[in-house]
A and B are shown apart, each in its own frame.
Chain A
Amino acid sequence: MADEALFQFLHNEVIQYVYKSAENGEMENGRCITRLENMGFRVGQGLIERFTKDTARFKDELDIMKFICKDFWTSVFKKQIDNLRTNHQGIYVLQDNKFRLLNQLSAGKQYLEHAPKYLAFSCGLVRGGLSNLGVKSIVTAEVSVMPACKFQVMIQK
């Protein structure tokens, strides 16, 4: 068992690294986010393989989303998603009221503009996980009040 602090520090370093290399290479913010997301994607793919070893076959898309909200989230972030909403047309909103990777930042407005950096990797995690379950998606995240955040999953048909 690894310790959580280690992952959080590593995650910070990854963000630092991606943004620093961007300074030299004139990469804009969007590209950095994409890079972080891609790294998360690969990790998500690996994780879901490990987590679903012993689970029963999923019935449908909603079943998969429930798995992500409960088991996947618990394994990765040590809590469940607080709220899952869907329009039943392929859009799911996962709300986490106390997101692990934002928890260490000030709850005020001071660092709100930096929040997206800390979410990109996790968006990738979810997308990667879903992709290995055969669900193509676009995952975005938004924060209005720290440390709560909403992940929006748009399923691609």
Chain B
Amino acid sequence: MFELIIWISLALIASSSFLLMIRLIKGPSVPDRAISLDAIGINLVGITAIMSIVLDTSAFLDIILLIGILAFIGTVSIAKFLEKGEIIENDRNNQ
């Protein structure tokens, strides 16, 4: 019963990632694609957590936090590129 629930939730997250992939390909504007990429990253966190339950190991728990940090930094840098045109500024106070 527990195993069935695990596989069903894994299939649901996978189909959610698939639908987000459609938005990533079709998305009319760039922010649509950025948000769908961020949500795919968060779905990847869920997939990693469920797979670590399936494989009965705690070795992947660091990966979960790692994907969260990388998704945050990546999304912030995409947002800053869309907003200002450059990701790392030289001097923001007097330019």
**Interaction A to B:** no
